[in-house]
Amino acid sequence: MDNCLFCKIIEGSIPSKKVFENDQVLAFYDIQPAAREHVLIIPKKHISTMNDVTDEDDQVMAEIFAAARKIASELGIAESGYRLVNNCNRDSGQVVFHLHFHLLGGEKLGPLN
Ligand code: AMP
């Protein structure tokens, strides 16, 4: 997808600090961490928002959640706890329109809103 920041990260034309990758999913550290550990987990397929996920994406969504569990375990925060957040559209503050899940942890997190 032209002009999508996260598609460029997938292509490698914009650098990222990768945490996990397989054929369907990429995870990398957020450039502006909102917690001690802050990783973004994205599908390699361009999907703009959570509203655009379809039944055809069941497998990639399962891969995203499997990646989240694996990353949390590897970062050592699975037991202490973490949060998985998706922002969808304007009221949530979504800035990058390529589906992504924020994995946040490594410290006591504040309220959701
Ligand atoms: P959202 O507000 O849910 O759309 O979140 C977008 C996230 O992307 C923000 O937390 C940004 O800090 C993060 N971000 C923007 N550009 C980059 C980048 N080049 N590498 C890593 N994370 C980024």
Check residue 2 and give its pLDDT: 84
Q: Give the tokens for residue 85.
A: 């957040």
Check residue 1 and give its pLDDT: 80
Average pLDDT over residues 68-74: 98
Q: For residues 89, 91, 96 and 100, what is the CA-based torsion angle, rounded to 10 degrees?
A: -70
The closest-lying atom of ligand 1 relative to the alpha carbon of residue 87 is: 3
Q: 100 C-alpha to center of ligand 1: Å?
A: 9
**How confident is the prediction for the chain on average, in pLDDT?**
97
Show which residues are catalytic.
100
Which residue, 15, 37, 10, 41, is CA-closest to 27? 41
H or E stretch at 28: strand 25-29
The closest-lying atom of ligand 1 relative to the alpha carbon of residue 29 is: 21
What are the sequence ranges of the domains in the chain? 5-105
- pLDDT per position as a tens digit, 18-57: 999 999 999 999 999 999 999 999 999 999 999 999 999 9
User: Is domain 5-105 annotated with CATH 3.40.50.1100?
Assistant: no
Residues with CB under 6 A from ligand 1: 5, 14, 16, 30-32, 40, 87, 93-96
> What is the reported pTM?
0.98
113, pLDDT greater than 90: no
The fraction of the chain above a pLDDT of 90, given in percent, is 97
